[in-house]
Amino acid sequence: MPVLRILHLVGSAHDDFYCDLSRLYAQECLAATADPSRYDFQIAYITPDGQWRFPRSLSPEDIAEAKPIPLFDAIEFLTGQNIDIMLPHMFCIPGMTHYRALFDLLKIPYIGNTPDLMAITAHKARTKAIVEAAGVKVPHGELLRQGDVSTITPPVIIKPVNSDNSLGVTLVKEATEYDAALKKAFEHASEVIVETFIEVGREVRCGIVVKDGELIGLPLEEYLIDPQEKPIRSYADKLIRTDDGNLGYAAKGNKKSWIVDPNDPSTQKVQEVAKKCHQALGCRHYSLFDFRIDPEGQPWFLEAGLYCSFAHKSVISSMAKVAGIPLHELLIMAINETLGTNK
């Protein structure tokens, strides 16, 4: 197998938070997948000022040393690099859409889903409408803008329509709590979803990967939920700021989440629903979906998170490992699907 030149697309032109988040995941991936016999890694790092850098690594020193250049010069540089494939690590809306579309224009293939699909799944209400039309159960909901009044009786979940990591999410148990929850959600988006609260049974994620065109359901990841003490997950359950000011993982390596035994009776049921979501949305290479399982065992679709950073701590990577697919094989599968090869 010839050495592949892989460009890691990192950072954010949106804000510092998404820039830090992207760097956190990309650093893990670079360390976990480095293999000079297979890959020649390059890094494109975009900062909130819109400038591009091509550092040797994602260390603060190498980033500071790399010369910032505008988009036009970055494109000129990229077109001369003979890049075989791009691996995206950008999680802001522009990173998931505009920057992926740029690589479509440059005719550089990339792992992961297309910019139009990323735009759709970044909008939770549109995603729900598509999977519901395919027969997937979703909580009853309403899309509100400033000044709108919900008609759904509590308990409800109120959340921004396009934020990740549970930013701005509130469980409203009484009607008197509506206004404060809406205000909190509108701080993060111009549109807000209000949806019926699904009583706690379990909350899980299900990943789908594609191998030779076939959809493979992965073992589920389950999250610690308690009907009284912790009925929903919060931002603090997912990310933390460390003492040095950097972002870190909160939900990894502790008792807040775990991989479910593949023989668990809920696994196959959720996998089948996840495959239906994958097909309805038109996903490629891989997909990841959140579900609430009610006390009767019925899965309810919550949202899609079409990311895989190909690091050991990534959700899909952790699921795949339990399924007997090590990280290096997972990456090769994605590369083969992207390039249309079966090496």
- The full DSSP string for 245-269 is S-EEESSSSSTTEEEPPTTSHHHHH
Q: Could you give the 3-state DSSP secondary structure of residue 117?
A: helix
CATH number of the domain that 94 lies in? 3.40.50.20
Do 53 and 96 fall within a single domain? yes
CATH number of the structural domain spanning residue 292 = 3.30.470.20
- Whether residue 103 is contained in a domain is answered as yes
User: For the chain, what is the mean pLDDT?
Assistant: 90
220 domain residue, yes or no? yes
Tell me the per-residue pLDDT of 253-264, one tens digit each, with 9 for 90 and over. 456 789 999 999
CB atoms within 10 A of CB 11: 28
> Does 73 reside within a domain?
yes
Give the position of tokens 């919550």. Answer: 302
Burial of 315 (0-12, 13-18, 19+ CB in 10 A): buried
| In a shared domain, residues 219 and 319 | yes
Residue 194 contacts by C-beta under 8 Å, 6 or more apart in sequence? 141, 142, 144, 150, 152, 156, 157, 158
Q: What does the pLDDT read at residue 257?
A: 84
For residues 37 and 242, the model is more confident at: 37
Q: Is 180 helix (H, G, I), strand (E, B) or coil?
A: helix
Residue 117 lies in a domain: no
Q: Say whether pTM exceeds 0.75.
A: yes
Residue 215 resides in a domain: yes
Q: Which of 76, 51, 56, 75 has the alpha carbon at shortest distance from 66?
A: 56
175 and 56: one domain? no
In DSSP terms, which residues pair with 299 in a beta bridge? 293
189 within some domain: yes
User: Same domain for 243 and 285?
Assistant: yes
| SS3 call for 59 | coil
Residues 220, 184, single domain; the answer is no
Q: How many domains does the chain have?
A: 3
| Full residue range of the structural domain in which residue 175 is found | 140-196
Is 160 in contact with 189 (CB distance < 8 Å)? yes
Instruction: Encode pLDDT of 163-177 as tens digits.
Output: 765 678 899 999 999
Residues 214 and 325 in one domain: yes
pLDDT in tens, 49-90: 999 999 999 999 999 999 999 999 999 999 999 999 999 999
Quickly state the pLDDT bin for 232 (edges 50, 70, 90).
Answer: low
How far is it, in rounded angstroms, from Cα 196 to Cα 255? 28
